[in-house]
Amino acid sequence: MKNIISIFAIALLLISCGTKPNVKDGEPITITQSSIQKSMEFLASDELNGRATGTPGIEKAAVYIENYLKENGIKPYFETYRDDFEFVNQRAANPTPIKGFNIVGVIEGNDPKLKNEYIILGGHYDHIGQGKEVDGDTIANGANDDASGTIAAMEFGRYFAKTKTNKRSILITLYSAEEMGLKGSGHLAERLKKEDVNVYTMINFEMIGVPREGKPFAYMSGYNRSNFAPILNQYAGEEVVGFFPKAQEMNLFFRSDNFPFYKELEIPAHAISTFDFTNFDYYHHVDDEAEQMDYVHMANFMNTMIPALEGMMNAPTKEVVLNEE
């Protein structure tokens, strides 16, 4: 009887932590609240001064992400983790050239043929730097926007690098200069096209740090442009991503880092978000802080997404396709 009670207690603990164990060689692999919070409290800290592209703060963020990828067995896709580019910020009062860089890691697929097809998981790790002063604070820490999506991509990378359950290869891609006009993702999409990389699909995680009321967990921008959402929901066994009318009204599909991949590679590429403009008051605000994030929600969302991602990554054929317009 004691053994039964112990097993039941362990099961409850896993559920309460928002984790779904995947056992590999006897060791459970999970996405935990503590791991998410550790990364969030660094990436959204005042030390990084708002992570504006071209500043020392975003350099610190990049080094943290690179070390995370390396420590978890995620190799650089290019010669190094960095995908360098340069652009002129036309939105600045005095436009000057800015150097930026994306961070790109790869997890090779375990199938001899399917590993030549790539799934891109990403989010932007830059933010706006400074915001309107509130109570002496001017640092726009960008916890929800988009340290949350950055951490989702990192955590999924760690999970698949440890479990090795992906037949297709995965690119973990973190972009800079999103806040300056999708410059980082635009550069990477153009580079992958030029190098003729066989990219199957792309998911951009954008502001997933706070929960929506009810279900589904999240919505997908450009919902009707492909069958991506129904395929993910099928493998998840529930409606994880749904249709959000306001995303269509506000043309969110064109305003986030998924769009350059859709445009350049002509593939199903969407943003997934849980921010619906009613559940978080601090968009581009100095109070977008780590302490505002819901780590139970984030862990639950990521773990619920895992079977959805695995199903899409491991299907024998390319089931996700663009819809005819």
Whole-angstrom Cα distance, residue 220 to residue 44?
25
**Signed CA dihedral, 143, 261, 306, 220: sign only:** positive
Whole-angstrom Cα distance, residue 100 to residue 187?
10
What does the pLDDT read at residue 24?
55
Whether 22 maps to a domain, the answer reads no
Of 152, 186, 171, the residue nearest 264 (C-alpha): 186
Whole-angstrom Cα distance, residue 285 to residue 283?
5
Whether 50 maps to a domain, the answer reads yes
Whether the CB-CB separation of 202 and 309 falls below 8 Å is answered with no
The residue range of the domain holding 95 is: 31-314
Whether 249 maps to a domain, the answer reads yes
What does the pLDDT read at residue 95?
86
Whether 200 maps to a domain, the answer reads yes
**Signed CA dihedral, 74, 313, 184, 207: sign only:** negative
Whether 52 maps to a domain, the answer reads yes
Q: Label the pairing between strands 241-242 and 169-175.
A: unpaired
The reported pTM is 0.92
Whether 166 maps to a domain, the answer reads yes
Whether the CB-CB separation of 202 and 122 falls below 8 Å is answered with yes
| Cα torsion through 274, 275, 279, 281, rounded to 10 | 150
The number of residues making up the chain comes to: 325
In the chain, the number of structural domains is: 1
What does the pLDDT read at residue 10?
40
**Signed CA dihedral, 270, 122, 312, 171: sign only:** positive
Q: Which residues in the chain show pLDDT less than 70?
A: 1-28, 325
What does the pLDDT read at residue 23?
56
Whether 229 maps to a domain, the answer reads yes
What does the pLDDT read at residue 18?
42
CATH of the domain at 47: 3.40.630.10
What does the pLDDT read at residue 160?
98
**Signed CA dihedral, 79, 113, 153, 194: sign only:** positive
Identify the burial level of 158 via C-beta atoms within 10 angstroms of its C-beta, where 0-12 means exposed, 13-18 middle and 19 or more buried. buried
Whether 292 maps to a domain, the answer reads yes
Whole-angstrom Cα distance, residue 250 to residue 225?
15
